[in-house]
Structure 1
Amino acid sequence: MPALIAGMIITIALAIVSLFVGVSDVSLASLLSGGWEGRPGEVLLISRIPRTVALVLAGASMAISGLVMQMIVRNRFVEPGTTGTSESAALGFLVVTIFAPGWPLMAKMAVAALFALGGTALFLRVLRAVPLRDVLLVPLVGIMLGGIVGAIGAFIAYRTNLMGSMLAWNMGDFSGVLRGRYELMWFGLAGCILAYIAADRFTVAGMGKDFTTNLGLNHRSVMILGLVIVSVVSAVVLVSVGSIPFLGLIVPNVVSMLIGDNMRRTVPWVAVGGAGMVLACDIVGRLIRYPYEIPISVVMGVVGSMLFLYLLLRTPRGAK
Structure 2
Amino acid sequence: MLVGRHVLAGSVVLAMLAAGSLFVGVIDLKPSDLWQQTGALNLLLVSRAPRTIAVIITGAALAICGAILQMLVRNRFVEPMTAGTGQGAALGILLVTLFLPEASLLVKMAVAACTALASSVGFLMIVRRLPPTQPLLVPLVGMVYGGVIGAGVTFVAYQADLLQYIDVWMNGEFSGVLQGRYELLWLAAAVALLSYFAADQFAIVGMGRTASINLGLNYTQVVLIGLVALSIVTALTVVTVGMIPFVGLVVPNIISRFYGDNLRSTLPVTALTGAVFVLCSDILGRLLRYPFEIPVGTVFGVIGTGIFLWLLYAPKRHVS
Give TM-score scaled by structure 1 length. Answer: 0.95
Q: Deviations over 1:140-196 (max 9, x none)?
A: 000000111011101110111100011111110100000000001011111111110
Gaps of 5+ in 1: none
Q: 2:35 aligns with which of 18, 32, 36?
A: 32
Q: 1:18 aligns with which of 10, 18, 21?
A: 21
Per the TM alignment, residue 104 of structure 1 is displaced from its structure 2 partner at its CA by 1.0
Give the corresponding residue for 1:7.
Answer: 10
Letter in 1 for 2:152: I
Q: Deviations over 1:229-283 (max 9, x none)?
A: 1110000000000000100011111011111100000110011001111110000
The answer to whether residue 200 in structure 2 is matched with residue 205 in structure 1 is no
CA distance in 1, matches of 2:111, 2:22: 33
Per the TM alignment, residue 128 of structure 1 is displaced from its structure 2 partner at its CA by 2.2
CA distance in 2, matches of 1:29, 1:234: 38
Give the corresponding residue for 2:230.
Answer: 230
Contact 1:132 1:138 in 2 (8 A): no
Contact 2:130 2:138 in 1 (8 A): no
Q: Which moved more, 1:106-115 or 1:126-135?
A: 126-135
Q: Deviations over 1:120-144 (max 9, x none)?
A: 1111111123334322110000000
Give the corresponding residue for 2:72.
Answer: 72
Letter in 2 for 1:98: L
Give the corresponding residue for 2:89.
Answer: 89
Give the corresponding residue for 1:171.
Answer: 171
Q: Deviations over 1:177-236 (max 9, x none)?
A: 000000010111111111101011101111111111111110000000000011100000
CA distance in 1, matches of 2:227, 2:80: 10
Contact 2:6 2:269 in 1 (8 A): no
Contact 2:287 2:293 in 1 (8 A): yes
Per the TM alignment, residue 310 of structure 1 is displaced from its structure 2 partner at its CA by 2.8
CA distance in 1, matches of 2:313, 2:131: 23
CA distance in 2, matches of 1:279, 1:83: 23
Contact 1:59 1:274 in 2 (8 A): yes
SS of the aligned residue for 2:184 comes to helix
CA distance in 2, matches of 1:296, 1:314: 26
CA distance in 2, matches of 1:115, 1:314: 38
Aligned positions of 1:1-320 closer than 5 A: 1-34=4-37, 38-313=38-313
CA distance in 1, matches of 2:308, 2:86: 18
Aligned identity (percent) is 49
CA distance in 2, matches of 1:251, 1:173: 19
CA distance in 1, matches of 2:293, 2:162: 24
Contact 1:24 1:43 in 2 (8 A): no
Gaps of 5+ in 2: none
Contact 2:243 2:297 in 1 (8 A): yes
Contact 2:62 2:247 in 1 (8 A): yes
Q: Deviations over 1:28-71 (max 9, x none)?
A: 1111212xxx1211110100000000001101101101011011
Per the TM alignment, residue 23 of structure 1 is displaced from its structure 2 partner at its CA by 1.5
Contact 1:26 1:41 in 2 (8 A): no
CA distance in 1, matches of 2:73, 2:292: 40
- The structure-2 alpha-carbon separation of the partners of 1:161 and 1:27, relative to structure 1 and needing over 3 Å to count, comes to same
Letter in 2 for 1:228: V
Per the TM alignment, residue 314 of structure 1 is displaced from its structure 2 partner at its CA by 5.2
SS of the aligned residue for 1:28 comes to coil
Letter in 2 for 1:78: V
CA distance in 2, matches of 1:285, 1:95: 31
Per the TM alignment, residue 315 of structure 1 is displaced from its structure 2 partner at its CA by 8.8
CA distance in 2, matches of 1:130, 1:253: 22
CA distance in 1, matches of 2:310, 2:13: 24
Contact 1:25 1:40 in 2 (8 A): no
Letter in 1 for 2:33: S
